[in-house]
């Protein structure tokens, strides 16, 4: 009996976390218009730019997306390939406009350069592929 209670205490938080994590589904209606999706990030991917993007992410995004970008409270897991495959222009458009239907606020109040900086940091969140983890 004691072992069953201990097991339940260990498993319940993990299952709740998994349920929250997997409840996110991409919104097929939230698509950037062609010209917006085609925009290129004007900022270089330097250590300073990425570091600044990380600070902005922790200040504005981590509350919903988690410090590692894995997604909390039905927010997108920013590490997933479906997110990482999106163009910089698409991510910029989504950060700028938000998605009220899904609880993603607009960050149009952030200066444009800071939104591009965030995207430089988001690119560092990509989950390693299976082939990457097999390398020595």
Q: What is the pLDDT of residue 19?
A: 42
87 and 35 Cβ atoms separated by less than 8 Å:
no
Instruction: Write out the chain's pLDDT in tens, 136 residues.
Output: 665 544 444 544 444 444 444 456 778 888 999 999 999 999 999 999 999 999 999 999 999 999 999 998 789 999 999 999 999 999 999 999 999 988 999 999 999 999 999 999 999 998 766 555 444 4
DSSP 27-72: -TT----HHHHTPPP-S---HHHHHHHHHHHHHHTHHHH-TTSS--
Q: Where are the domains of the chain?
A: 2-128
| Cα(96)–Cα(93) distance, integer angstroms | 5
90 and 46 Cβ atoms separated by less than 8 Å:
no
Instruction: Specify the residue for token string 């039905």.
Output: 74
| Cα(111)–Cα(96) distance, integer angstroms | 10
Return the closest-CA partner of residue 111 out of 56, 65, 68: 56
Q: What is the pLDDT of residue 12?
A: 43
Cβ neighbours, 10 Å, residue 122? 24
Q: What is the pLDDT of residue 26?
A: 76
Query: What CATH number labels 2-128?
Result: 1.10.760.10
């Amino acid at each position: 009996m004691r072992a069953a209670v201990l097991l339940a205490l260990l498993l319940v938080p993990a299952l709740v976390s998994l349920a929250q994590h997997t409840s996110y589904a991409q919104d097929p209606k939230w698509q950037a218009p062609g010209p917006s999706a085609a925009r290129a990030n004007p900022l270089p991917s330097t250590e300073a730019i990425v570091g600044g993007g990380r600070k902005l992410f922790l200040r504005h995004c981590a509350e919903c997306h988690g410090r590692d970008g894995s997604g909390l409270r039905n927010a997108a897991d920013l590490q997933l390939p479906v997110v990482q495959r999106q163009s910089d222009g698409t991510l910029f458009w989504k950060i700028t406009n938000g998605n009220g239907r899904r609880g993603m606020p607009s960050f149009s109040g952030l200066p444009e350069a800071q939104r591009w900086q965030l995207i430089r940091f988001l690119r560092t969140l990509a989950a390693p592929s299976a082939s990457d983890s097999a390398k020595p």
